[in-house]
Amino acid sequence: MEKAHITEAESEILSALWRRGPLPFVSLIEGVQVRQTWAAATIKTLLSRLMHKDLVEDRRWIGEADYLHALNFCNLLPGPEAQQLATYIGWLMHGIRGALIAGLLFILPGAVAIMALSVAFLPIVKRNCWMG
């Protein structure tokens, strides 16, 4: 099976993600705009194209019509489109269990990082603040 071709613009998005790891969309925009003068909508479109190439063309986890239906539905909802799309695809592939697992695995790395930072800063806060 031949892999989908990645354009130079899509490669720029991927390199920004690889340089800085998982990051929020706003940080991704800032990271890309340091090197490019693209608008936020352009960056969002490039991310959607990358997801399409991975999910539909390479892995073939979902068909074209299902992907477009999911993308249109996710665009209507408030919140992070990528998480909604991952949860929807998990639901399509494995029902409720797949949706729960996809949704949880999408937010788990960020939750673990926040908890680790909270635990790391707790001694500093206790020593330097009003908490005693």
pTM passes above 0.85: no
Rounded to the nearest angstrom, the gap between the alpha carbon of residue 94 and the centroid of all alpha carbons in its chain is: 20
For 14-70, how does the pLDDT look when each residue is reduced to its tens digit (9 = 90+)?
A: 777 767 666 666 777 777 777 778 787 787 778 778 888 888 888 888 899 988 888
CB count within 10 Å of CB 39 equals: 11
Please, is 67 exposed, middle or buried when counting C-beta atoms within 10 Å of its C-beta (0-12, 13-18, 19+)? buried
Q: What is the helix (H) or strand (E) element at residue 89, kind and residue range?
A: helix 81-128
> Which tokens hold the place of 22?
């998982």
For 106-130, how does the pLDDT look when each residue is reduced to its tens digit (9 = 90+)?
A: 888 888 889 999 999 888 877 777 6
Residues in the chain: 132
- Where are the chain's structural domains? 1-60, 64-132
Question: CB-side exposure of 1: number of CA atoms within 13 Å?
Answer: 8
